[in-house]
């Protein structure tokens, strides 16, 4: 099968990949592609919903690159975390984290999420215009996840630069440097918590957590878990809030319908996740044996890229998929994945998005775009914009 160079579509693919995904899907659900620069990685891209859902639970598709004789930068510098391991290692790590990161703990954050949102809007609203990313979409989730983990006040500008470089790298060298700096920071933070009096935060809980058989996270596993919770715990929500506001403001009929009936908010957030989800593709998987995906032969060791946003625009699952409709019942979208790697932080992301969007719309009845959004994030992992100018 010929390799489709997605980079050949130019910057238009980054701004709006959905026509390309539709073109590919019309020819079949699985294609051999080369991702755009700077990564330019070759693998099998799944663009069909049913095929993506099946791939997310296929045990033959491994998340562990070490089984191919490779060691990822995260694995080598951070340690093993739930996104880069398979059962039984994954089962063990996730169960240890799930003991502390519970639904009850997330729901208990609701008043604090509302308070932070109110404080950010109190700073933002008198100005009449702002970059929504800087004023709300970034500071809300980074504050929440830092408080949840027990991370003291950090230089958020510096941390954002590191985080952006890790999830949307500009070069291999810059990504490596960012991972090293964050690993060093987390080592110091964990050591401080070991020596401090017991505290009621998630990272301190993970330090103390033991399974019935006495099992607990090792030092490198704790560092890796803190890394993935800190990075994934805010990056996805930044883009969910930003994409949500951008989508609503560019679909005034749906915005008006939501303003007229705010009981539609929960469904609107689910439709936003389907229509313009914050994670464009799942992190890579590797075929542990020769296999077929939707009739396409995939060789042992081949990389498989599951298109989560592409799956959300599959007309087989979602009729008229390019229409944004907050009355739609979008259950079954794959924005948070599916199966054993389903996003652990999905309840927290939903909570933050509902509070942020609901409060913003309530306080800003004349909210509008104040120019075009900033550049779309490079690469195919995260889907979002660098900035979103708004006025009211």
DSSP string, 93-139: HHHHHHTTS-HHHHHHTHHHHHHHHHHHHHHHGGGSEEEHIIIIITH
User: CA 206, CA 188: separation in Å to the nearest integer?
Assistant: 16
- The string of pLDDT tens digits covering residues 309-340 is 999 999 999 999 999 999 998 678 999 999 99
Helix crossing, 139-149 with 346-363: angle to 10°?
140
In the predicted model, is pLDDT for residue 257 greater than 90?
yes
Could you tell me if 199 and 150 are in contact, meaning their C-beta atoms sit under 8 angstroms apart? yes
Tokens of 348: 């927290």
Confidence class of residue 150 from pLDDT cuts 50, 70 and 90? confident
- Spatial CB neighbours of 227, under 8 Å, sequence gap ≥ 6: 74, 78, 79, 81, 182, 183, 186
Confidence class of residue 156 from pLDDT cuts 50, 70 and 90? low
Tokens of 21: 């995904």
Best CA proximity match to 289, nearest among 304, 273, 268: 304
Best CA proximity match to 242, nearest among 391, 390, 380, 117: 390
SS3 35: coil
User: CA 119, CA 135: separation in Å to the nearest integer?
Assistant: 11
Segment holding 224, helix H or strand E: helix 219-249
- The string of pLDDT tens digits covering residues 76-93 is 577 888 889 999 999 998
User: CA 360, CA 121: separation in Å to the nearest integer?
Assistant: 8
Best CA proximity match to 61, nearest among 295, 279, 305, 297: 305
**Sheet of 389-391, strand order:** 129-131, 389-391, 368-369
Could you tell me if 205 and 98 are in contact, meaning their C-beta atoms sit under 8 angstroms apart? no
Tokens of 45: 């891209």
The torsion angles phi and psi of 192, rounded to 5 degrees, stand at -60, -40
User: CA 83, CA 64: separation in Å to the nearest integer?
Assistant: 9
Question: Residue 210: what pLDDT?
Answer: 67
Taking residues 61-79, report their average pLDDT: 71
Best CA proximity match to 219, nearest among 198, 196, 193: 193
Taking residues 60-81, report their average pLDDT: 74
- The string of pLDDT tens digits covering residues 194-243 is 887 778 888 888 888 766 667 788 888 888 988 888 888 888 999 999 99
Could you tell me if 244 and 349 are in contact, meaning their C-beta atoms sit under 8 angstroms apart? no
Q: In terms of DSSP bridges, do strands 368-369 and 389-391 run parallel, antiparallel, or are they unpaired?
A: antiparallel
DSSP label at 306?
A: E
**Percent of all residues in the chain with a pLDDT value above 90, rounded to a whole number:** 64
- The string of pLDDT tens digits covering residues 22-51 is 999 999 999 999 999 877 889 999 999 999
**Percent of all residues in the chain with a pLDDT value above 70, rounded to a whole number:** 95
Tokens of 208: 């103390």
User: CA 232, CA 343: separation in Å to the nearest integer?
Assistant: 9
Place of tokens 């070991």: 194
Q: For the chain, which domains are there?
A: 4-391 (1.10.630.10)
If you average pLDDT over every residue of the chain, what do you get?
91
Could you tell me if 7 and 40 are in contact, meaning their C-beta atoms sit under 8 angstroms apart? yes
Could you tell me if 130 and 124 are in contact, meaning their C-beta atoms sit under 8 angstroms apart? yes
Confidence class of residue 161 from pLDDT cuts 50, 70 and 90? confident
Instruction: Count CA atoms within 13 Å of residue 200 on its CB side.
Output: 2
Best CA proximity match to 298, nearest among 306, 307, 288: 288
Helix crossing, 110-124 with 139-149: angle to 10°?
140
């Amino acid at each position: 099968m010929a390799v489709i160079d997605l980079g050949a579509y130019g910057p238009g693919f980054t701004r709006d990949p959905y026509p390309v995904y539709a073109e590919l899907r019309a020819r079949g659900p699985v294609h051999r592609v080369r991702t755009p620069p700077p990564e330019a990685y070759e693998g099998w891209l799944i663009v069909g919903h049913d095929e993506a859902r099946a791939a997310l639970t296929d045990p033959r598709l491994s998340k562990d690159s070490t089984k191919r004789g490779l060691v990822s930068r995260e694995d080598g510098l951070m340690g093993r975390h739930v996104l880069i391991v398979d059962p039984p290692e994954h089962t063990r790590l996730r169960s240890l984290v799930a003991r502390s990161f519970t639904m009850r703990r997330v729901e208990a954050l609701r008043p604090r999420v509302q308070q932070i949102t109110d404080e950010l809007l109190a700073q933002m609203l008198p100005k009449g215009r702002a970059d929504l990313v800087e004023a709300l979409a970034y500071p809300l989730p980074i504050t929440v996840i830092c408080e949840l983990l027990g991370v003291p006040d950090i230089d958020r500008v510096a941390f954002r630069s590191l985080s952006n470089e890790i999830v949307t790298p500009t070069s291999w060298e810059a990504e490596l440097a960012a991972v090293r700096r964050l690993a060093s920071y987390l080592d110091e933070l964990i050591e401080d918590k070991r020596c401090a009096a017991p505290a009621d935060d998630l990272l301190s809980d993970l330090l103390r957590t033991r399974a019935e058989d006495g099992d607990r996270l090792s030092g490198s596993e704790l560092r890796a878990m803190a890394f993935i919770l800190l990075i994934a715990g805010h990056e996805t929500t930044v883009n969910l809030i930003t994409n949500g506001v951008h989508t609503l403001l560019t679909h005034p009929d749906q915005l008006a319908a939501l303003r007229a009936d705010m009981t539609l908010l929960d469904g609107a957030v689910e439709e936003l996740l389907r229509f313009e989800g914050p994670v464009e593709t799942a992190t890579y998987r590797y075929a542990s044996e020769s296999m077929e995906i939707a009739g396409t032969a995939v060789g042992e060791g081949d990389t498989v890229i599951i298109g989560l946003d592409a799956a959300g625009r599959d007309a087989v699952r979602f009729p008229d998929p390019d229409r944004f409709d907050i009355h739609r019942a979008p259950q079954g979208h794959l924005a948070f994945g599916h199966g054993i790697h389903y996003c652990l932080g999905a309840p927290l992301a939903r909570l933050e998005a509902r509070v942020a969007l609901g409060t913003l719309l309530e306080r800003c009845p004349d909210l509008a775009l104040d120019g075009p959004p900033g550049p779309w994030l490079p690469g195919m992992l995260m889907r979002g914009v660098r900035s979103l100018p708004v006025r009211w």
